[in-house]
Amino acid sequence: AQSVTQLGSHVSVSEGALVLLRCNYSSSVPPYLFWYVQYPNQGLQLLLKYTTGATLVKGINGFEAEFKKSETSFHLTKPSAHMSDAAEYFCAVSVSNNDMRFGAGTRLTVKP
Amino acid sequence: NAGVTQTPKFQVLKTGQSMTLQCAQDMNHEYMSWYRQDPGMGLRLIHYSVGAGITDQGEVPNGYNVSRSTTEDFPLRLLSAAPSQTSVYFCASSSGTSGSRADTQYFGPGTRLTVL
């Protein structure tokens, strides 16, 4: 069975600093990988996804993630944090139809 | 487009009561799903539907029923609420016809349910 581990339930960065949110997965088949963001009192929205092809995926709001098969990782990065990036971020993996597994989430705080 | 809408936003129930969480989408998506979100556990799939008249169980279906009579609506019914069902519930939809694992899901704003 596939699973997702997000390292760090809370991450705090200063405005302008690098954002790095870690995600590792386990899967016996090539995975499709997703990052979703949840702003306070809202539903989740897609940041980016990897299905096939280029392993470096660019998403909305300046975020990107790189699929590294050898490390079973799909870490999310943004070069310079903005106050508006404060939210909860979920990594998810899907290895079959109708079966998406979410990580526990990482809450990002951005300090002025 | 309103996207995915959910009602109510908040609900408090007593143990044993029943209720229906409403979900509607105006994007003509065939695939709809229900998740629950619990602290430290991410989202877990309760039930899903690949089209009107077709539903199936997800990872945590016990205590919940669903039906899909139209493309737009996908209500979730709690038959006899229990404190373990205290959670935030999200409805989602996607444009794929079979819940393809590549599809992007669009989420509603959620319903926060407390069972006393």
| Interval A15-28: pLDDT, tens | 999 999 999 999 88
Q: What is the mean pLDDT of residues A61-75?
A: 95
Q: Do B42 and A99 touch (CB under 8 A)?
A: no
A72 touching B, CB under 8 A?
A: no
DSSP category for residue A103: -
Quickly state the pLDDT bin for A2 (edges 50, 70, 90): low
Express each pLDDT in A17-61 by its tens digit: 999 999 999 988 888 999 999 998 888 999 999 988 899 999 999
Express each pLDDT in B81-107 by its tens digit: 999 999 999 999 998 766 677 788 899
Q: Do A94 and B48 touch (CB under 8 A)?
A: no
Query: At which residue do the structure tokens 């959670």 appear?
Result: B87
Is residue B69 predicted with pLDDT exceeding 90? yes
Q: Where are the beta strands (DSSP E) in chain A?
A: 3-7, 10-14, 19-26, 32-38, 44-50, 56-58, 64-68, 73-78, 87-96, 99-102, 106-111
Touching B: A residues 8-37, CB under 8 Å:
9, 32, 34, 36
Per-residue model confidence (pLDDT) at position A1:
60
Q: Do B101 and A94 touch (CB under 8 A)?
A: yes
Least Cα separation, residue B109 to chain A (angstroms)? 4
